[in-house]
């Protein structure tokens, strides 16, 4: 980066927006944990006085000695974490120990809090589900009610009913931590970055570059320089298509899949029109899974680029991107993975996937709109030309010649979306704090429940029944327009998407132009799914 002035991360003792506070736990975390512990201690005390049961730790279900296989539907690479060990793993044995225990928690980084903190919670009840068919997940208890309290919008009413937000594949709601990070930046640190010798420029630069490190860590990148900030997944794919497209010629092949979002089709068509390259499409089967043999047959000596989604936004299918990347790279192709629907649902490791580019949008993972990131290997960034030109991406400019900045600045022309990058960092820290394996396991439990409830409705046709899915359910009802179903659900306070979901080829495979698409996230509950299924059932029976 050119004339960066860094190193000032606090002024008047106050941390810059997004600056880390090592070893600290937010007030919200502490009160949540304290509330949970108080509840457990009181329950244990009541048990002891009523039935003579020991106050615990015997009441805590033991972690299985052998970890069960990952639940069906999670990507093959997903593995539940090992049982935690550590000083905070033992819950308090009585009320008098509670204060000491909370004191110990205050001293911990909340990202390292072990799952066992919640594992003593009751394993019955609508929200005490970690995943699978019920009970505690190997990934630990997931306190969805505490999560819900972090999202102020979930207290909204729509048409007099509590809002049930099932439009998460379109965009997710924002936790208070993200809202606070944005307003703190504008209230205290706002400045342009990478230029300027004053304190606010340094604080804003630090916070922006810190967000880049958070994204890199979140994706398992080799370092922050592998992260390019963009407006979102669409801009990221356009960037990649333009820089890679520059090297294509007539007859070169670009391989896509039938599952792709329009954002991963149209930019390649534009490149193909300019260069004479040819687009080839790997088909899906009737469950919505890519037919791998057909995909492999498409790969040939002219394949230059393979671009595929990690998870489909219309059907929920999780693609075996590690395998597909390996096959493509064996033919010398560059690989692009569209992670718009994956990063918020299960742990993603770009190093393990091995693609050249991995792209996602912040707003689909509880961050702001207008920000996203491209993970690009250093080899790709060095070997490819820049896309947009302007300030920030240059080393030196004369009218005769311009030299470019080192990556990733080379791909970030102009003033970036500083505040929203910081907001994205806050969102990723929030998800990391919840435990990404726990999120995946919890959502998988919701997906199984929703699939069972919807499949039981007479006449309802579920579209997309792949073995490995994220929490996206597409369905149609005979004789009912999906848009009309969406409107009827809205009257009950239930938000779903109805339409083609910007993935027309994937729906046309099933002879459809539109479906109703509820999509799940960490704050959804089984009660909400039951509400959804009840209303859909009434619509199916002609009662609405």
Ligand X SMILES: Cc1ncc(COP(=O)(O)O)c(C=O)c1O
The residues that touch ligand X, with contacts defined as CB under 6 A, are 169, 232-234, 261, 263-264, 309, 313, 338, 340-341, 361, 502
Is the Cβ–Cβ distance between 532 and 460 less than 8 Å? no
Tokens, residue 236:
């990221």
Is the Cβ–Cβ distance between 302 and 272 less than 8 Å? no
CB atoms near residue 94 (< 10 Å): 12
Is the Cβ–Cβ distance between 163 and 492 less than 8 Å? no
By C-beta, is 363 or 453 nearer to ligand X? 363
By C-beta, is 232 or 518 nearer to ligand X? 232
Contacts of 222 by beta carbon, 8 Å cutoff, 6+ apart: 216, 351, 377, 378
Contacts of 209 by beta carbon, 8 Å cutoff, 6+ apart: 6, 224
By C-beta, is 115 or 464 nearer to ligand X? 464
For helices 418-434 and 436-455, what crossing angle results, to 10°?
Answer: 80
Burial class (CB in 10 A: 0-12, 13-18, 19+), 250: exposed
Residue 520's φ and ψ, nearest 5 degrees, are -105, 155
Contacts of 455 by beta carbon, 8 Å cutoff, 6+ apart: 462
Tokens, residue 11:
């002024």
Catalytic annotation present for 502: yes
Tokens, residue 260:
């792709």
Q: How far apart are CA 375 and CA 219, in angstroms?
A: 8
By C-beta, is 309 or 392 nearer to ligand X? 309
Residue from 123, 116, 175 nearest 146 by CA: 175
By C-beta, is 56 or 234 nearer to ligand X? 234
As measured in angstroms, the least distance from the Cβ of 481 to ligand X is 22
As measured in angstroms, the least distance from the Cβ of 169 to ligand X is 6
Of 233, 502, 521, 540, the active-site residue reads 502
By C-beta, is 313 or 451 nearer to ligand X? 313
Q: How far apart are CA 13 and CA 33, in angstroms?
A: 28
As measured in angstroms, the least distance from the Cβ of 355 to ligand X is 15
By C-beta, is 506 or 525 nearer to ligand X? 506
Please name the residue ranges forming H helices in 185-331.
199-219, 233-245, 266-275, 292-298, 321-330
As measured in angstroms, the least distance from the Cβ of 424 to ligand X is 12
As measured in angstroms, the least distance from the Cβ of 471 to ligand X is 13
By C-beta, is 361 or 515 nearer to ligand X? 361
As measured in angstroms, the least distance from the Cβ of 104 to ligand X is 41
Is the Cβ–Cβ distance between 92 and 37 less than 8 Å? yes
> Coil, helix or strand for 230?
strand
As measured in angstroms, the least distance from the Cβ of 233 to ligand X is 4
By C-beta, is 91 or 316 nearer to ligand X? 316
Strands (E) located in 248-399: 253-257, 278-282, 303-309, 334-338, 357-361, 372-376, 394-397
As measured in angstroms, the least distance from the Cβ of 170 to ligand X is 6
Tokens, residue 179:
């809202």
Distances (CA, A) of 490 to 161, 164, 364: 9, 9, 21
Distances (CA, A) of 387 to 33, 146, 269, 381: 47, 43, 17, 11
Q: How far apart are CA 410 and CA 343, in angstroms?
A: 25
Q: How far apart are CA 131 and CA 184, in angstroms?
A: 36
As measured in angstroms, the least distance from the Cβ of 217 to ligand X is 22
By C-beta, is 132 or 347 nearer to ligand X? 347
As measured in angstroms, the least distance from the Cβ of 232 to ligand X is 3
Q: Indicate which residues carry an active-site annotation.
A: 502
């Amino acid at each position: 980066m050119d004339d960066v002035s860094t190193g000032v991360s606090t002024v008047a003792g106050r941390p810059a927006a997004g600056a880390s506070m090592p070893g600290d736990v937010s007030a919200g975390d502490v009160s949540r944990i304290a509330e949970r512990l108080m509840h457990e201690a009181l329950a244990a005390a009541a048990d002891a006085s009523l039935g003579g049961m020991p106050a615990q730790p015997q009441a805590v279900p033991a972690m299985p000695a052998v970890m069960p296989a990952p639940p069906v539907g999670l990507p093959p690479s997903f593995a539940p974490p090992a049982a935690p060990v550590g000083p905070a793993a033992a819950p308090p044995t009585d009320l008098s120990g509670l204060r000491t225990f909370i004191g110990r928690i205050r001293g911990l980084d909340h990202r390292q809090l072990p799952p066992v903190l919640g594992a003593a919670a009751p394993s019955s009840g609508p929200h005490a589900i970690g995943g699978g068919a019920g009970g505690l997940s190997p990934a630990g208890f997931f306190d969805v009610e505490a999560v819900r309290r972090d999202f102020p919008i979930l207290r909204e009413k729509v048409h007099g009913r509590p809002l049930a937000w099932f439009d998460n594949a379109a965009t997710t709601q924002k936790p208070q931590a993200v809202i606070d990070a944005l307003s703190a930046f504008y209230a205290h640190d706002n400045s342009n970055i990478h230029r300027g010798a004053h304190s606010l420029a340094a604080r804003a630069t630090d916070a922006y570059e810190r967000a880049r490190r958070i994204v890199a860590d979140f994706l398992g990148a080799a370092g922050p320089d592998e992260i390019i900030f963009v407006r979102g997944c669409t801009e990221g794919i356009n960037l990649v298509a333009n820089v890679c497209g520059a090297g294509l010629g007539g007859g070169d092949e670009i391989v896509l899949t039938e599952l792709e979002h329009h954002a991963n089709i149209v930019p390649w068509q534009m490149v193909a029109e300019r260069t004479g390259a040819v687009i080839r499409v790997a088909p899906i089967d009737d469950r919505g899974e890519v037919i791998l043999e057909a995909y492999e047959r498409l790969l040939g000596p002219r394949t230059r680029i393979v671009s595929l989604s990690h998870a489909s936004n219309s059907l929920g299918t999780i693609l075996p991107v590690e395998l597909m990347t390996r096959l493509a790279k064996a033919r010398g192709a560059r690989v692009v993975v569209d992670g718009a629907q994956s990063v918020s649902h299960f742990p993603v490791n770009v190093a393990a996937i091995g693609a050249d580019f991995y792209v996602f949008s912040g707003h689909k993972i509880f961050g702001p709109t207008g920000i996203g990131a491209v993970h690009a290997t250093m080899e790709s960034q060095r070997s490819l030309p820049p896309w947009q030109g302007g300030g920030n991406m240059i080393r030196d400019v004369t009218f005769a010649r311009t030299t470019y900045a080192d990556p990733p600045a080379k791909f970030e022309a102009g003033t970036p979306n500083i505040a929203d990058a910081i907001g994205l960092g806050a969102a990723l820290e929030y998800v990391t704090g919840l435990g990404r394996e726990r999120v995946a396991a919890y959502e998988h439990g919701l997906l199984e429940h929703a699939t069972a409830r919807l499949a039981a409705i007479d006449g309802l046709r579920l579209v997309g029944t792949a073995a490995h899915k994220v929490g996206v359910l597409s369905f149609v009802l005979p004789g009912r327009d999906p848009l009309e179903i969406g409107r009827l659900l809205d009257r009950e306070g239930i938000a779903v998407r109805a339409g083609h979901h910007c993935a027309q080829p994937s729906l046309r495979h099933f002879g459809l132009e539109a479906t109703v698409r509820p999509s799940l996230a960490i704050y959804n509950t089984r009660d909400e799914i039951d509400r959804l299924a009840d209303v859909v059932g009434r619509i199916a029976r002609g009662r609405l």
